[in-house]
Structures are given as structure tokens and as C-alpha cells.
Amino acid sequence: DNTCIGIGLYTAEDEGFYIEVLPETSPLLPEVLQMLADPNITKIYHNSTYDLNVLKQLAKEHGQPAPDCINVQDTALMAHVQGIPANLYHLGTEYLHYEDMGDIQLLLLEHNAKTMLGVPFEQVAIKCLNDCRATYNILPVLHKLWPNEANQRCYEVKRLLIPLLRSMVQNGIQLNQDRLHEHYDNYSKEAFMYEDS
């Protein structure tokens, strides 16, 4: 479910804010969406293609500009390129030694809820802010872990592709079915040849 129920923001190592969207909408939401659309502010996401699509839909619903997708950093992408498990819980506990990351599935089970809307507001806000804190604070750690310059360049190329990937996730891609079947047949024959030898 891509329904946005809140937005967490960390503006410093130990300063965060939770802006409620559902069930009640914070009057600060328009300002937050405008800030996220500002190309002069660097935004740090963990799995930016997902977040940006959710935020784009939210901005559209509230008559605000779409979020900026150029001046972003993506800690999930950065970890993935480095060969580190990109799971935020893992990054927070393993590299930042946080003991309060929490687990969404456990929260849902604890409150017998199907979605986070069934979890008390305070617990949703705390979970969101713990994730934001980990995302904000893992970025400098990941910057120190680059194994080599080639990995850094690979990340930069992938980061620049975020707008394209976001569009593909949202719109899908069109495949030429005839070419797809042709490639499938060719690769199947080639695989069979290797199996036979």
C-alpha cells in the first residue's frame, strides 16, 4: 500500500520531526512538500524510488509541486553498491549500534492491525523517526566505507538514474513482445548448447 500516513524529517544528527498525513493532516504538510520539492536542499532517502513515488502522489493530491528527484542521496542504493545488506534495520543496528530500530511487522502484530493506521500515532511517529535518524546518520558512515573509487562512480551513475527509475516504477516499461520472444528463443538455444556440451 503506497498510502502516505506521515513524513519523517531529520534535520540534524539528533533532531527530527514527524508530520502527520493520516488520519489527521498536519497544517505543516504544504510547507514540508515545498521543502521536498526545493532542488537547493539535499534530501537523504532510503530507497528513494519508492519514497519519491509516494511523495509525488501526495503532492499531487494536495496541489503542491512534485518532490525534487535530482538533489538526493540514497542510503539503500549506496549500501547495495558497496555490497552491504541494504536493509535499514541491519544498517542501524550493525553500523550505528541503535537498539531501538523496531520492526513494522511486530508493531502490526502487537496491535492486531493490518496497516500502520491501526497502530497508535505515537508508536508510528517513533518508528518513522527512528528510521529517519538511521537514514540521516548512516550516510556519513557509508561515505567512509567506499572500497574504491569505481564503486563511488557506480553509485553516482545509479543516483543520477533515480528520476528514470522512478518513472519506470510508476509507469512501467513497454516491451516489444516479438523481440522479447526472439531473445528468449536465442538464449534458450544457447543455454541448451552449453548444457549439452
Q: Could you give the CA distance from residue 9 to residue 133 in angstroms, rounded to a whole number?
A: 8
Query: 37: helix, coil or strand?
Result: helix
- pTM for the full model? 0.82
The pLDDT tens digits of the residues spanning 12-27 come to 999 999 999 999 999 9
Which residue in 122, 4, 116 sits closest to 62, CA to CA? 4
Half-sphere exposure of 132 toward its Cβ, with a 13 Å CA cutoff? 22
The residue with cell 535530482 is 70
- For residue 46, what is the enclosing H or E element? none
DSSP code per residue over 173-196:
----HHHHHHHHHHHHHHHHHHHH
Q: Grid coordinates in use for 156?
A: 553516482
- Contact (Cβ atoms closer than 8 angstroms) between residue 74 and residue 117: no
The pLDDT tens digits of the residues spanning 11-70 come to 999 999 999 999 999 999 999 999 999 999 999 999 998 999 999 999 999 999 999 999
The pLDDT tens digits of the residues spanning 91-138 come to 999 999 999 998 999 999 999 999 999 999 999 999 999 999 999 999
DSSP code per residue over 62-130:
TT-PPPP-SSEEEHHHHHHHTTS---HHHHHHHTS--S----HHHHHHHTT-SSGGGS-HHHHHHHHHH
